[in-house]
Every structure is written in C-alpha cells, then in structure tokens.
Chain A
Amino acid sequence: MSKPKVASDWMAGCSGCHMSFLDIDERIVKLVELVDLRSTPITDLKQPDEAGVDVGILEGGINNTANEEVAKLMRSRCKILVAFGDCAVFGGVPALRNFFTIEDSLKRVYKDIESNDAEAIIPSDPELCKPTRVRAVHEVVPVDIFMPGCPPDADIIFYVLSELAQGRMPELKNDKLMWN
C-alpha cells in the first residue's frame, strides 16, 4: 500500500496552524515516511492532485470569492477533509469582520486611514477576488474532521496526521481538544 497523499491549503487564516505543524520539529522526518506531502503552501506543487488525495487540510475561514474556490477544489479532490484550526472550524478572529459591513471595512482601510495619500481608492481590479462574509469551512463544503485550536498544538497535529496515515480516524478529546 502506498503512502496516503496529503494536501493542504490556507485561506483566511494567519498561517499559524501550518507553523504549528512545523512545530512537530524533528518528527517531520518520521511523518514524511508515513505520508506523501503533495501540494501545501510550503511545497511547490500548486494544487491538490487532479487524481485526488486521501487527506485534504484547510486552514483559515472563507472570507472572499477566491477562498470559496479553494475550499470547493480541495473538497472535490480529497476523501477526508480536515478543517484545521479555529478559523476553519468556526471563522476565528477574522470573523470579527462580520460585525461590520464589507463596505465600511474597505472604506476605513483604503479611504479613511490616516496614512493613506490623497489618491486613495478602493482596489477593484478584476484580477482581485471580492470579499464576502466570513464563514467557517463547513458552511461552504462538508467537513469530515474538525481540529480546533488557535493554533492546535503540534502534538495534536502530529497525532491526527499519524492516525490518518495509519487509516484510523483520530479522536479529539481530553488533552487533544483545545480551542484556545
């Protein structure tokens, strides 16, 4: 049996969950023996394999049209989807933006801020995505495993990945369950 393929991506998060993943330190050597890391933000493959991966991991919530695409793509190409970190699980700190309208947020940042120069405009190039309400991943695509934490501890991440690598569903409870 070949190693399970794992792909990850990040959306409206801060990359802290992926950094916590790197906090497994030397265990990364053991991990790459257990899994085949495909596309991730820190490797150079850009998208999850068209042929599909076993585990898809998404960090960050969804706060724009580009994130929606990323989430849908990952869901369509993986068997098990993991919502990685508080932002993916419920929206996280970026969800504070939902207290305000997107218009007000754009206006404050791109028009009114004290350091903006006189020609301040709100970016609107078609190359750019559009901001949307901040949502948890499971509000956009079905999620199989929720790994809360901000970020989840490296030990928890290692546990989840090793369980999945060995064909088991991880059980997150007691010292493996954290939201802070």
Chain B
Amino acid sequence: MVNITIDDKKFEVPEGTTVLNAAREAGIDIPTLCNHPMLTPYGGCRLCLVEVDGFRTLQPSCTLPVINNMVIRTDTPKVRAARKFILNMIFSERNHFCPYCLVSGGDCELQNAAYAEGMTHWDLMPNWEPHLLDASHPYIIIEHNRCILCRRCVRACSELVGNFTLGFEERGAQCTLVADLGVPLGESSCIGCGTCVQVCPTGAMIERWSAYHGLEKDVKRTKTICVGCSVGCGIETISRNNRLVGIDGDWDASVNNGVICDIGRFHPVNDERIRLTMPMMIKNGSRVEVSREEALRSAAEYTKSNKKEQTIAVISTRLPIEALDVFKQLFSAIGILATTLEEGLKTKPIATLADSGRYPTEATLDELSHSDCVMVIGEDITKDHQVTSFFIKRRVPSGLKIISVSSEPVGLKNFSRLHLKINAGSEVEFIQSLINTCKSEKIDEQSKTGIKPDDFQQVVDWLKTSKNPLIMYGQEYFKNKFLDAVEKLTELAEASHAKLISTKGGANSLAASQLGLDQPISLDGVKNVFFVVGDERLSEPVLKKFEKVSNLIVLASYHSPLTDVAQIVLPIQTWLEDEGTYLNVDGRLQKSIRSFEATNQIKSCTDELLSMAEYVGVEIDKNWKTRLTQRRSPVEIDENKMKEIQ
C-alpha cells in the first residue's frame, strides 16, 4: 500500500494504482477524454493533467502510477488553465459543428468536457481544412472532422476484439485514423462489430441505423442478453417508443465484458421484416383474420385429431427455456415428435457421451484468457460464435498460440501461429493422427488429411507444453461424422491434457438438448407440422423444406413465405418483448429481460403454448429446472444461478 495526498487529503492506495484511479476511488473527479475503464491508459488527450509536487511539469494522471508520499493537486489555476487550453487545441484541430451533430446536446464527451470548464467559445480557430467522411461501411460511418485522436477505437479494436483493423498513420497535423493500411473502412478487414462506435467519445464514429433516433435522455436502456447464439453476450438494448434504436455491449456482463459482434449489435436494428399482427387462418381457400381463441382452439383440435405419425412439432432455439419446456411436455403428452430446427445435430452426440459419463466437463470461455494454446477445429468461429474468436484473437500479442484446422479458409487463419489446411472430410482422421502422435504411435505418411507428421508433432508439442491448453470445436465441418469426432476429441483431450469447449449452436441449443428436443426431422409421410418459428430468420433451405407440408400451424413474430401458406398463424412476441431463461455455452443460466411491451395484445410464446395445452387438455408442470438437469450435461450448469432464478 502507498500513502498519497490528493487536494490536501490523505489516502492509502494499492501499489500500481494510477493517480487517476486513486483520485476516482477517493471521489475526486479528474476529467478525461482518451481514458476508458475497459481500455489500457493512453495519455494522449492530456485533459487529465494534474500538479504533482516535485515534478517540473503537469503530469497525466491516467498513466502515472502512485509513488509513496506523492502530493497531487487536481484543481489549481494552472491545471484549470491547462484544461481550457487543451480543449481549445482540440476544437481548433478539426472541424467541430455542434449545431447539427447527432451526439450534440448531452452525448458528446468533448462537448461535456467543454461545458465543465465553462467554455463559451474557442480563441484559436480551426483552419477549416476538410477531413474525410468515410461512409463506405454498411454499419459504421467515420466522420473524421469530429475525431479527437483519442485512440479509444484503435485500442478497442485491438485489446477487446483482437481484430487490429484500426490504427493511426502520419504525425502532427497529418496524424489520422486509418483502417488497415489506409483503405475505406468498407473495404478493410473490419468485421463490423461496432465496439469502436461504442467507445468513441464524440460523433466521429456513427452507427448508420441509429443516427438521430434520440439522445441518451430520450431513450431507455435495458440490460439483457443477446439470443443470437449460444454465447449469450450481455447487452443493453436501447429503445424509444416501443422500438429498438440500438444495441450496446454491456460492460458489466461477465460473459463478454461488453464486446458483441455485428450480428448482435446491428442485425436486430436493421431488421426489415414485417411483423405479424393478427392471428390468421385459411378458411374456404382464403386467408382471414381470426380471434386468438379461435386460432388456438383450431390448432389444438388439429393437433389432437391428426395421426401422430404424420405430425411433428418443431421449435426455434432462440426461445426461452420456459417455452421449450412447455413445448416438450405438451407434445410428448400427445405423442408427437418434438424437436428443434437444429435437429440436435450440434449437441446430441455430446449430450449422449456426457450423459453416459464418458465426456469430460468442458472448460468455460473465460479460461481462454489464461490459456497459452488453443486449437480450433470443425467451425469458423469468426462467422458463428464470433465473440469467442474475440477472446482468442486479442491474446495474440500476449503470446497465445492459435492452431486453426480447416479444409477451407477461416477467419482465424491470419491470426494463427499454425494454420493447417486439411483435405475436406478428413477432420476425424486428423484428430486420430493427433491422438497417435500423442501416444508416440506412427502416423501414416500418406495420411488422408494431407498434413505432414512434423505438423502433427508441432501441435502435440504445443498442447502438451502449454498452460491450460484448450480445444474448441463446432459441428459444421464434421457434418455427419460428428459423433465419431466427439469421441475422438474426448480421447485427444485426455491424451494431451487439454480441455474441450464445444460451441453448441443457437441461444438455447444446450437447454433444448438437455430437455430431449434433439431428434432429426424427416418430413417423409408428414402431413402436419406445428412450427414455433418465433422471431428466427428462416434460411432458404428450411423454407423450401417446409413449404411443401400440407398443413402448417405456425407461431411466429414476422411474415415469411411459410406464414403465407400456413393453415393457422399465431403472432407471438419477439425476443425484445419476451422474457425468459437461457442456458449459454458455458452452462450459465441467464435471464433475457423485456425491453418494451408488445403491441396489439400479442402474447409470449410460453403463454400461447400454455393456452394451447389448456385447449388440448394437457397439464403442464412449470418447474423446468428439474428437467434441465435430469441428464448429465457437457458443461457444469451453475447451481447457484438455478436457485436465484424464479
């Protein structure tokens, strides 16, 4: 511990604390611009300058570690004059048009800093040299006239996301933000995650779809989780007048600590689909609006009266556990096959092994932050489960060895210490060869994989000598050999002392698997499908597959080609209007919180399924927790969280 004096008051702070943080702990606010709690200090803006006894010049408090007996003054005339001068310099450097800027009037940290210093004008005027407006990217616009060169975006892009796209070029007045080696952002390696926009203190970084929809004082923020994939990142939805206007990562969420991907941040705001507003049925050949009761009653009759073997029930994994559980109970009670759109492909083999006790408990995602070696196989995690790739890529500067294995190029390739291009379809053989290498057994030179023994040896050496080696895998490239793959990976994990992480799939894939909603879908001889689409965006192959079904009953939020041909259509709430529990890839149980109320008296999926059950005459038990853990899971399901959740 170190003793210091700030503004004539004495404090004791841990060694290594910066003067800025020490002051903040003590309740003394030193203004900053380039500083950000989630990023390493930069000391670029100089707004945090303070007087320190014994130092000849003013010191940046954000980068200065405390020294025993340091005497600091944060509010002297010299400090105040420096702040005003610095702000003046910043305003004169580029072209700041407060009148029409989208963050002006409360949301601009630069403007607020000027207000705090009582600045009514700048003495130094800009030379009005125009800077670039880069609108080449579909989501992120860079207005260089407003950039204050604080470098937050550069640091976010490297330290938090690990994409290293943004940087600075040139010096002095020519110093400027660039993407890659100076290309338009839309043509760069930018992956569109938008973390740069979230940290930007001014209106330099603009979110195209959220611009001018409202300032912080106009909007409502709700902490919830993203249901785009199994990671379940913590997010804050930003809404106004019952509409989503933006999404930010939640810095306080322990899963992701604030980073989210473009699918989580931008896709929901940019959703162009048309909402379903009224229940509908086909009567006498034409589609008519009906009451909710009529739709439910008809759906119930339909489900009861039709031949069981000709009927299946399908649900989306974007829906909460509460809905999945009612769904399973309802259709099991009637004897109808119930499954998810994923058909258990990504989870069933793992679940089977885990249940029989032959699968090691998986590592959790935060273990990626103290692992020295990660091998990724079976999926391009920079496309699906992007945020997991952030955790990996950002550790490249600290020496993490990344091994990526795939038959086609994957996003991790350029970040990998070793990228192994294997022959398509030889994934399982690859793992076997690794196992053999671990056991010092001979590998076939003419291996089906096309990989040389030296490379296998390298991989094994790294896995065996690294701290906390991890093998991350998904199902996609393994195709129909996933069960073999999982068995082999289990063997490999044991042989190399590595832990496994499987990406699983959608938001509630793991929960669906635990509840037994994991059968494959065969439409042979199937005439009737009870399809809970929810707000999922159905792919072309899926649409084509189900369009031919003669009798469709669809519960969905949006219009689609399926709802156009369905017998009965019932609108349900979207994920923003609904609430429920999600089981993420790590085994965390998280609650998705409603961002705003549904209009038109549209009900949640869970409520509609419960009403259906009433009409059908099935009694539903609401205690899904017991069913969630009735089989052993590949990850440890957080017992404490289970107790918390009602």
The short answer to whether A and B are in direct contact, CB under 8 Å, is yes
Binding site for B on A (CB under 8 A): 83, 86, 89-93, 95-96, 98-99, 133-136, 138-139, 143, 145-148, 150, 172-174, 177-180
C-alpha gap A53/B498 in the complex (Å): 85
Task: Assess whether A172 is in contact with B120, with CB atoms less than 8 Å apart.
Answer: yes
Q: Which of B100, B104, B120, B125 has the most CB of A within 10 A?
A: B120
Closest 3 CB pairs of A and B: A98-B128, A180-B105, A150-B99
Using Cβ atoms and an 8 Å threshold, which residues of chain A touch B101? 180
Q: Which of B100, B121, B123 has the most CB of A within 10 A?
A: B121
Task: Assess whether B118 is in contact with A172, with CB atoms less than 8 Å apart.
Answer: yes
Using Cβ atoms and an 8 Å threshold, which residues of chain B touch A148? 98, 120-121
Task: Assess whether B125 is in contact with A139, with CB atoms less than 8 Å apart.
Answer: yes
Task: Assess whether B130 is in contact with A150, with CB atoms less than 8 Å apart.
Answer: no
Using Cβ atoms and an 8 Å threshold, which residues of chain A touch B115? 173-174, 177-178
Q: Tell me whether B237 is interfacial, beta carbon within 8 Å.
A: no
Q: Tell me whether B111 is interfacial, beta carbon within 8 Å.
A: yes
Q: How many A-B residue pairs have CB under 8 A?
A: 62
Using Cβ atoms and an 8 Å threshold, which residues of chain B touch A86? 98-99
From A133, A138, A145, A173, contact of B118 by CB (8 A)? A173
Known contacts A95-B128, A98-B128, A136-B125: A180-B120 contact under CB 8 Å: no
- B65-107 contacts to A (CB < 8 Å): 95, 97-101, 104-105
Residue of B nearest to A133 (CB): B128
Q: Tell me whether B415 is interfacial, beta carbon within 8 Å.
A: no
Using Cβ atoms and an 8 Å threshold, which residues of chain B touch A90? 121-122, 125
C-alpha gap A81/B365 in the complex (Å): 63
- B111-158 contacts to A (CB < 8 Å): 111, 114-115, 118-123, 125, 128, 130
Task: Assess whether A147 is in contact with B120, with CB atoms less than 8 Å apart.
Answer: yes
Using Cβ atoms and an 8 Å threshold, which residues of chain A touch B128? 95, 98-99, 133-134
Chain B interface, >50% SS class = loop
C-alpha gap A146/B122 in the complex (Å): 10
B95 to chain A, nearest CB (A): 8
Using Cβ atoms and an 8 Å threshold, which residues of chain A touch B111? 179-180
A154 to chain B, nearest CB (A): 16
Q: Which of B98, B99, B115 has the most CB of A within 10 A?
A: B99
Residue of B nearest to A85 (CB): B99
From A91, A135, A177, contact of B120 by CB (8 A)? A177
Task: Assess whether B98 is in contact with A180, with CB atoms less than 8 Å apart.
Answer: yes
Known contacts A139-B125, A180-B104: A146-B98 contact under CB 8 Å: no
C-alpha gap A133/B128 in the complex (Å): 10
Using Cβ atoms and an 8 Å threshold, which residues of chain A touch B99? 86, 92-93, 150, 179-180
C-alpha gap A38/B242 in the complex (Å): 51
A156 to chain B, nearest CB (A): 11
